[in-house]
Amino acid sequence: MAELGLYLDLIRRNPVYLAGLVIVSSFVVLGLIAPYILTRPEDAWGLAYSIDKRLMPPSLEHPFGTDEYGRDVFNRVLLGARFSLVIGVGVVALSLAIGVPIGLVAGYMGGRVGTALMRITDMFLAFPPLLLAVALAATLGRGLLNTIVALSLSWWPWYSRLVYLQVSSVKNMPYVDAARVVGLDEARIMFKHVLPNSLTPVITQATLDVGSAILEASALSFLGVGVPPPIPEWGLLVSSGWHLVSRAWWISFFPGLAIVITVLGFNLLGDAVKELMDPRLRNILSMRRV
């Protein structure tokens, strides 16, 4: 906790990192409250359409314009924050739920079981990122849950490898031997003593990965294998304005901008954390300027 305070302090002193922190926290808040602050809920949820208001350019009444069904794009983008948050957090949580136990067992047990588990992990890592998710999403069919599952099934190997590496080093620490000498059973050592001490970098990485998960989910939607309409997921909103973009640029432009800003926030924060945690760069900070 003291360390967290230190990080926050360091982040606060750098305007770029501070921007990341501000973006991420506002995104989370927006994602939580979005459904309750909509000015045109039926537009946002895609339930109503009005022919007389179609394809209106941005104005005071419709800051982001209206789409081809006359729905207010601003409200749709606003509600999109909720779906992006659900997808991002869902993907990371499900991936952790798959990846952490596999990495923990592989790292702690080692031996043949460990090798077998890590070989399976390597097989999944042999796919280029996103590609496996595209294939999975295509066979699972469009849907919010299916999108989360498809992304998680291609995402977990990263966590299981990270946990594996952590656990492999933590399990050799003297205090683990001490626990064994005292006579604690293996399961208890594994879950209560090794796991908690291996989780910090994993949780940090997972938190920052929410941005990448949002980015990849938007790509799935754009390719037509992600979230189905009328859900106002940002990638889907961009793709819904695709064929109209030269006449009504605002339909695709603003949701895309929302993705950029959100993912940028997570990545700026990630950059800050990496820089602060990297001991080599930290040393250089105190050295001469190159």
Partner 1 sequence: MPVSREYLVKRLVLLVFVVLGVLVITFIITRVIPARPEFLWAGPHATEEQLKRARQELHLDEPLHVQLYYYLLDFFKGSWGVSWRTRSPVLQDLLTALPATLELVVTAFTLAFLAGVPLGIYSALNYGRRADQVVRVLTILGASTPVFWVALILQTVVGIWAGLLPAGKRVDEYLVYSTGFRPITGFYLLDSLIQGNIAVFADVLKHIIMPALVLSLYPMSLASRMCRSLMIEVLNENYIRSLEIWGVPRRVVLLKYALRNVIVPVVGSLGLSFGYTLVGAFMVELVFVWPGLGYYAGMALLSYDYPAIIGAVVLVAIFYSLINFVVDLLHAWLDPRVRL
Binding site for partner 1 (CB under 8 A): 16, 122-124, 126-132, 134-136, 138-140, 211, 215, 218-219, 222-225, 235, 238-239, 242, 245-246, 249, 252-253, 256, 259-260, 263-264, 266-268, 271, 280-281, 284-285, 287, 289-290
Measured from the CB atom, the residue of 57 and 224 that comes closer to partner 1 is 224
Measured from the CB atom, the residue of 122 and 186 that comes closer to partner 1 is 122
DSSP codes joined into one string, 178-229 = HHHHHT--HHHIIIIIIHHHHHHHHHHHHHHHHHHHHHHHHHHHHTTSSSPT
CB of 268 to partner 1, least distance (A): 6
Measured from the CB atom, the residue of 37 and 245 that comes closer to partner 1 is 245
From residue 16, alpha-carbon distances to 21, 214, 259, 260 in Å are 9, 21, 18, 16
How far is residue 106's CA from residue 103's CA, in Å, rounded to a whole number?
Answer: 5
Sign of the dihedral through C-alpha 129, 132, 138, 144? negative
Structure tokens at 246: 């030269």
CB of 235 to partner 1, least distance (A): 7
Measured from the CB atom, the residue of 164 and 254 that comes closer to partner 1 is 254
Measured from the CB atom, the residue of 21 and 184 that comes closer to partner 1 is 21
Measured from the CB atom, the residue of 138 and 184 that comes closer to partner 1 is 138
CB of 98 to partner 1, least distance (A): 15
CB of 184 to partner 1, least distance (A): 37
CB within 8 Å of 147: residues ≥ 6 apart: 87, 137, 217, 220, 221, 226, 227
Measured from the CB atom, the residue of 86 and 138 that comes closer to partner 1 is 138
- Which residues is 28 bridged to in the sheet? none
Structure tokens at 115: 């090798």
CB of 285 to partner 1, least distance (A): 8
CB of 217 to partner 1, least distance (A): 10
CB of 241 to partner 1, least distance (A): 8
Give phi and psi for 66, each to the nearest 5. -125, 160
How far is residue 103's CA from residue 173's CA, in Å, rounded to a whole number?
Answer: 18
Measured from the CB atom, the residue of 74 and 234 that comes closer to partner 1 is 234
User: Counting Cβ atoms within 10 Å, is residue 106 exposed (0-12), middle (13-18) or buried (19+)?
Assistant: buried
CB of 54 to partner 1, least distance (A): 19
User: Counting Cβ atoms within 10 Å, is residue 9 exposed (0-12), middle (13-18) or buried (19+)?
Assistant: exposed
